[in-house]
Each structure stands twice: as structure tokens, then as C-alpha cells.
């Protein structure tokens, strides 16, 4: 966790580490952090904040109800889209039902 007014994010400024952190999510990714620190970091994290804001995906943690609702909505959308690709029935190739 990094929280300071001068944008020092330590090892998070390493592009390869940021790549790993941002590309391993399978369904949904939430980045929780200090906006000022990340925005001033001069790294991909500042660009991520800018992009999230422009897409309407940036939420202030101080506004807990909106954050909770946004997370619940994202979870529900993810679950419903996952069910759209599932099929239930007899699988002849594996001996299942």
C-alpha cells in the first residue's frame, strides 16, 4: 500500500510488476488505492486512473453506498454473462448426464 502526496509507488512503478498485477484477473479487477499517489506516480497507474475516470469506472471510497452498489452490479453482470456460456445437459463424450 502506498499513500503519499509525491507519487512514490515503490516497486509498483516497475512496468512488468504492474503488468502482472493488472492482467491476472479472470472475471473482474478492482484497483483500490490512493488516487493522488497513483495519479502523480508518472507510471501506468496514473494512466489507469485517467482511463477509469473517462470510462465512468472510477469511484470514491468515501461514498461507500455508490462503491458498494457499483461492485455488486459488476459482480451480477459478471455472473450473468458467465451463465450465458454454460450449458447443462448430457455430455456423451465424457459419460456425464
> Domain for residue 59, yes or no?
yes
pLDDT at residue number 34:
87
pLDDT at residue number 54:
95
> Domain for residue 88, yes or no?
no
Q: What is the DSSP string of the chain?
A: ----TT---GGGG-HHHHHHHHH--SS-------HHHHHTTSSHHHHHHHHHHHTT----TTSHHHHHHHHHHHHHHHHHHHHTT---S--TTTT--
pLDDT at residue number 66:
75
pTM assigned to the model: 0.60
> Domain for residue 23, yes or no?
yes
Q: pLDDT-based confidence at 79, cuts 50/70/90?
A: low
> Domain for residue 46, yes or no?
yes
> Domain for residue 5, yes or no?
no
* 42: containing domain: 10-83
> Using one digit for the tens of pLDDT, what is the confidence trace for 14-71?
889 888 888 988 877 888 888 899 999 998 999 999 999 999 888 887 776 777 787 7
> Domain for residue 29, yes or no?
yes
> Domain for residue 95, yes or no?
no
Total number of domains constituting the chain: 1
Amino acid at each position: 500500500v502506498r499513500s503519499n502526496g509525491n507519487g512514490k509507488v515503490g516497486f509498483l512503478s516497475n512496468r512488468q510488476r504492474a503488468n502482472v498485477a493488472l492482467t491476472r484477473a479472470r472475471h473482474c479487477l478492482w484497483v483500490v488505492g490512493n488516487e493522488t499517489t497513483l495519479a502523480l506516480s508518472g507510471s501506468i497507474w496514473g494512466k489507469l486512473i485517467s482511463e477509469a475516470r473517462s470510462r465512468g469506472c472510477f469511484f470514491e471510497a468515501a461514498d461507500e453506498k455508490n462503491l458498494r452498489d457499483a461492485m455488486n452490479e459488476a459482480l451480477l453482470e459478471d455472473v450473468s454473462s458467465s451463465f450465458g456460456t454454460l450449458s447443462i445437459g448430457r455430455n456423451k463424450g465424457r459419460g456425464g448426464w
